[in-house]
Amino acid sequence: MRLAPKIPSSNILLGLMLATLLAACSPATPDATTRLPAGERDPGYSATDAVIVQMGADGLPRYRLEAERLEQDPQSLKVSLQALRFETGARDGAPWQVRAPEGLLSADARRLDLSGGVTVSTESKALRNGGLQLVTARLQYDLESSRVRAPGAVKVSLQGHELVATGLEANLRTGQVRLQSTIRGRFTP
């Protein structure tokens, strides 16, 4: 007569917990029970307090994007961003900060469309008496070239002076800013 070895109950409990955990983590096969109810759609992915860091070929960060909330649309693959903060470097090493209440990242992650009151600023050492600040309602940011474009009204504050223009194009790598038309300025000593 041969007796089976007695397995301690703690090992059985541990085995059951491990099996349950593995089953919960394994990918589910879609079937009728896992489908969303009619009228609801899969939200793609979403995150809160998200941080995205894009690295350059040199291994250094090209930009850092933070958002209180982001959500990807599964059909268009665009990512909507809420309360975002964006930072990228310039040639002289001074970072540019971009802030916006809302944004939309293109499906190929090459363009940001910002809205809701956008602020772009830098504290470059090349600028005397403070930095440069751009304020506009909407802004398009090309992440590959670090170029920004604002089609509407833009307020530019530089060294204690203020300009208002309609339309702006700027290269944040080189610091070149070009105002399009209808420029009004106020220079105070």
> Strand, coil or helix: what is 99?
strand
* Percent of the chain clearing pLDDT 70 (strictly above): 69
Alpha carbon 100 to chain centroid distance? 10
Taking the complete model, does pTM exceed 0.85, yes or no?
Answer: no
The whole-angstrom separation of Cα 121 and Cα 104 is 20
Encoding tokens for residue 34?
């896992």
Sheet with strand 161-171: strands edge to edge: 46-55, 61-72, 79-88, 96-105, 111-122, 132-142, 147-158, 161-171, 176-186
Domains annotated on the chain, with CATH? 43-186 (2.60.450.10)
Determine the pLDDT at residue 115. 96
* Percent of the chain clearing pLDDT 90 (strictly above): 39
Determine the pLDDT at residue 70. 93
Query: What is the 8-class DSSP label of residue 127?
Result: S
- Asked if residue 47 has pLDDT above 70, the reply is yes
114 Ramachandran zone, left/alpha/beta (phi>0; psi -120 to 50): beta
The secondary structure of 151-168, three-state, reads EEEEEEEECCEEEEEEEE
pLDDT single digits (tens) 120-173: 988 765 555 568 889 999 999 999 888 999 999 999 888 778 888 899 998 888
